[in-house]
A and B are shown apart, each in its own frame.
Chain A
Amino acid sequence: MKILVCVTSVPDTITKITLTDNNTKLNKAGVQFITGPYDDYALSRAVDLKEQLGGTVTVLNVGGADAEPVIRKCLAVGADDAIRVNAEPTDAYFVAEQIAAIAKENNYDLILMGRESIDYNGGQVHGIVGELLGLPSISPVMKLNIEGTTAQITREIEGGHEDLEASLPLVLGCQEPIAEWKIPNMRGIMSARTKPLKVVEPTGNDTLTQVSSYELPPARGACKMIPAEEAETLIKLLRTEAKVI
């Protein structure tokens, strides 16, 4: 089983977003970068599958050198090697093009991703990669089991879930409860330092989209407190003041 796991290096979920350079850049100062939480689920399932079925897990990131701590952490969790495509990941299509180019050279049985990046929230890279490779793409995947060359998959749908059966190779966007997040242990951290991390240059240079500037949402007004004894007034206010019911 040859598994490729695509990971993002993203600001921690508790980050307060601020802007710099006249609102044309996100301020990275003091921001802690982590592996995308959904990507972490994908990686954890990949490591479990490797332990169960044998094979290799390769981690792939499209990003600058500042993503390397996140890549090393993925190696510490149990990936065997890593590839970094040395480029600013400017949009979903560009990232997908890079992933597809690597995949074409390597014949992976499974390409696992997170259901969505927690920075740009597109939920689309897996679909584009699937299309570029002519493979099925399925997301969000909550359960994944492999028997031979067949995958049994449970996917969340609005208001429920469905069970699917498909032949490998596949491109999947993962979410909980596909696996438990793995925390690297000391041995993992030590061995990660010497695992191979290959840096390659990007292919293609299409600009299909371009961010020109950013904006922060206005702060919510003060919270109107209603004494518990008068809870019923809330319903009146929701109707007459907020006009939402």
Chain B
Amino acid sequence: MSVLIFAELDEGALKKSSLEAIYYGSKVAEQTGTSATAIVLGEASTDELTKAGRFGAAKVLHASDAKLNDGNAMAYASVVAAAVSQEGADVIVLAKSSLGDAVAARLAGKLKAGLAANVIELPDLSSGFRVKRSIFTGKAFAFTELTAGTKILTIKKNTITPEETEATAPVEAFTAGLNDVDFAVKVTHTEKATGDILLPEADVVVSGGRGLKGPENWGIVEDLAKALHAATACSKPVSDLDWRPHHEHVGQTGIKISPNLYIACGISGAIQHLAGVNSSKVIVVINKDPEAPFFKSADYGIVGDLFDVLPRLTKAVQAL
């Protein structure tokens, strides 16, 4: 029995959501009296790999083959499955993310495992293995028993607060034979913003809606985001109109985020928009219409013209 955590890299660094998953996995190992091993795929520096130890991993497996650099979920699932069998792992923990979902799913298929997505708390082991997960995009929670021998959990981002220690973890090279069939899908072109804070990983998000009037006005949103080290997001009509790229669209049909702070500017607060952001810890709404429904779901509100308010907020942040 042991816990295996699949940890993701972004631009060579362990993702924040993966550090949360490692910490979560180490706590489950503590609860069950076993140990937690993290597995990292693709090229990474030793410094970065040992960081997993500071978040609770007792050991790090590193599959360093450069063929594993570009997040191929099928190949990842095969390698992780090999690690599961080497380590005799019966609990596998991943961050809920676009890659984490795919790896978890393929693994569940391989191992016939019980799978719970969007887990938000440590398991209750008092009678079996019960987790609390978020469903209906945060509108409800389901307490789910995992009765299968092998259990796979994907952890909702920013719901577990990891503690960092000085602990170190030994890094072991892990080689698993790679299958050609796992590389049948060819990546012909990749376009990815570099250096930016990834929206799903961000602690603070500044978001704009149709109230911004046009893409040429996004500078004031970006300025505030920059001052706050925040990522930018938008409502669906804004990405439908091509004012902003689709990967910034949050909501029912877009990305679901749960940052510490979500600042909504010129967004009315339709229920489908709220579905993507309602698990944010603190919500700020800036809207010129005092009747905008978003105020009912906010913690702080300003009724005002965003073209006046946003630049003043940016100045106030810069003055901190």
Nearest CB on B from A25, distance (A): 11
Q: Is the CB–CB distance between A162 and B190 below 8 Å?
A: yes
A74–B148 CA distance with the chains assembled, in angstroms: 35
Q: Is A139 an interface residue (CB 8 A)?
A: yes
Which residue of the partner chain, among A139, A161, A175, A209, contacts B144 with CB atoms under 8 Å?
Answer: A209
Q: Does A130 sit within 8 A of B, measured CB to CB? A: yes
Contact of B109 among A131, A213, A237 (CB under 8 A): A131
| B117 interfacial contact with A, CB 8 Å | yes
Determine if A123 and B117 form an interchain contact, defined as CB atoms under 8 angstroms apart. yes
Residue pair B185, A166 in contact (C-beta under 8 Å): yes
Nearest-CB distance from A41 to chain B (Å)?
8
Cβ contact within 8 Å between B109 and A127: yes
Q: How far is the CA of A215 from the CA of B247 in the complex (A)?
A: 31
- Interface stretch (choices A65-73, A91-99, A185-193): A91-99
Task: Answer whether residue A238 sits at the interface, using C-beta atoms and an 8 A cutoff.
Answer: yes
Known pairs A223-B285, A231-B313, A232-B313; A121 contacts B137 (CB<8 A) = yes
Interface size class of B (residues with CB under 8 A): 35 or more
B296 within 8 A of A: yes
Give the distance in Å from the alpha carbon of A217 to the alpha carbon of B115 in the complex.
22
Indicate if the CB atoms of A208 and B117 lie closer than 8 Å: no
Report the minimal beta-carbon distance from B222 to chain A, rounded to whole angstroms: 15
Scan B104-138; emit 1 where CB is below 8 A from any A CB, else 0. Answer: 11101110111111100000000000101011111
**Interface residue count on the A side (C-beta < 8 Å):** 81
Residue of B nearest to A210 (CB): B145
Binary interface encoding of chain A residues 130-150 relative to chain B, with 1 for a CB under 8 A from any of its CBs, else 0 = 111010111110100000000
Q: Say if the beta carbon of A29 comes within 8 Å of chain B.
A: no
A158 to B245, CA, bound (A): 12
Q: Check if B246 sits within 8 Å of A142, measured CB to CB.
A: yes
B320 touches A235 (CB 8 A): yes
Q: Which of B276-294 contact A (CB under 8 A)?
A: 278, 281-285
Give the CA-CA distance A123 to B96 in the complex, in Å: 9
Per the 8 Å Cβ criterion, residues 167-224 of A in contact with B are 167, 175-177, 206-217, 220-221, 223-224
Query: CA of A38 to CA of B109 in the docked complex: distance in angstroms?
Result: 22
Q: Shortest distance in angstroms between A95's beta carbon and chain B's nearest beta carbon?
A: 11
Chain A 220-242 per-residue mask, 1 if CB under 8 angstroms from chain B, else 0: 11011111100110111111001
Task: Report if A80 contacts B (CB, 8 A).
Answer: no
A244-B282 contact given A92-B115, A209-B114, A231-B304, CB 8 Å threshold: yes
Given contacts A131-B105, A231-B304, A158 and B200 within 8 Å (CB-CB): yes
- Which residues, 11 to 34 on A, are CB-close (under 8 Å) to B? 11, 13-14, 16-17, 19, 26
Contact residues in A for B137 (Cβ distance below 8 Å)? 118, 121
Minimum CB–CB distance from A205 to chain B (whole Å) comes to 13
Within 8 A of B (CB), among A81-104: 91-93, 96
Residue of A nearest to B127 (CB): A212
CB pair A160–B185 under 8 Å, yes or no, is: no
A232 to B320, CA, bound (A): 11
**A44→B271 CA distance, assembly (Å):** 24
A214 touches B142 (CB 8 A): yes
Given known A-B contacts A96-B109, A211-B144, A217-B140, A13 and B102 have beta carbons under 8 A apart: no
- A126–B101 Cα distance when bound, in Å, is 10
- State the majority secondary structure of interface residues on B: mixed
CB-CB < 8 A to B247: which residues of A? 156-161
Q: Cα distance A216–B139 when bound, in Å?
A: 7
Given A13-B272, A13-B275, A235-B317, residue A158 in contact with residue B98 (CB < 8 A): yes
- On whether the beta carbons of A209 and B184 are closer than 8 Å, the reply is no
Partner of A127, one of B105, B116, B298: B105
Q: Are B187 and A162 in contact (CB under 8 A)?
A: yes
Are B113 and A208 in contact, with the CB atoms below 8 A? yes
Alpha-carbon distance A127/B282, docked complex (angstroms): 34
Which listed residue (A121, A220, A234) contacts B134, Cβ 8 A?
A: A121
Closest to A221 in B: B299
Contacts of A140 on B, CB cut-off 8 Å? 98
Q: Chain A: which residue is nearest B72 at the CB level?
A: A136
Query: Would you list the 9 A-B pairs with minimal beta carbon distance, nearest first?
Result: A127-B105, A131-B109, A228-B304, A160-B192, A208-B114, A124-B105, A208-B148, A163-B189, A235-B316
A contacts, CB < 8 Å to B: 11, 13-14, 16-17, 19, 26, 37-38, 91-93, 96, 118-132, 134, 136-140, 142, 156-167, 175-177, 206-217, 220-221, 223-228, 231-232, 234-239, 242, 244-245
Extra pairs beyond A123-B117, A124-B101 (19, CB < 8 Å): A11-B136, A13-B271, A17-B136, A92-B108, A118-B136, A121-B117, A123-B101, A130-B109, A138-B185, A157-B190, A162-B187, A162-B189, A164-B187, A208-B114, A211-B144, A220-B298, A228-B303, A234-B300, A244-B203
18 A-B pairs with C-beta separation under 8 A: A120-B142, A137-B102, A158-B199, A159-B199, A161-B246, A208-B115, A209-B114, A209-B145, A212-B130, A221-B299, A223-B285, A223-B300, A224-B301, A226-B301, A231-B316, A232-B315, A236-B316, A238-B282
